[in-house]
Amino acid sequence: MSLKKISSTTTDRVIAGRLSRRRFLSLAGTGIIVGTLAQVRRAEAKTSQRAARYQDTPKGDKSCSGCKLFLADENACRVVEGVISPNGYCRFWVRS
């Protein structure tokens, strides 16, 4: 079985919650798990702007540009979906 096939299968199992902790750790030990976590992370859904109570204006001195979760290069956020303004704010704000 190729490394790519093993990695894809592993990702599917991790996402489905069917991969045992022991198997996960053994794969991590062999290096097969490298790249798999990044794929799982990408597969995670972000929170909607509505659920995050996102607003496109700051709250006091708190704004997305000062938040640890803001991705300035992409006008995006690690946890909230959609286009995010540097002047925005939501309930997940974390000081950077």
What residues make contact with ligand SF4 under the rule CB under 6 A?
A: 52, 54, 64, 67, 69-70, 77, 79-80, 84, 88-90, 92-93
Q: How far is the CB of 66 from ligand SF4 (least distance, A)?
A: 8
How far is the C-alpha of 14 from the C-alpha of 41, rounded, in Å? 11
Q: How far is the CB of 42 from ligand SF4 (least distance, A)?
A: 17
Q: How far is the CB of 83 from ligand SF4 (least distance, A)?
A: 10
How far is the C-alpha of 87 from the C-alpha of 18, rounded, in Å? 41
- The number of C-alpha atoms within 13 Å of 79 and in the hemisphere containing its C-beta is 14
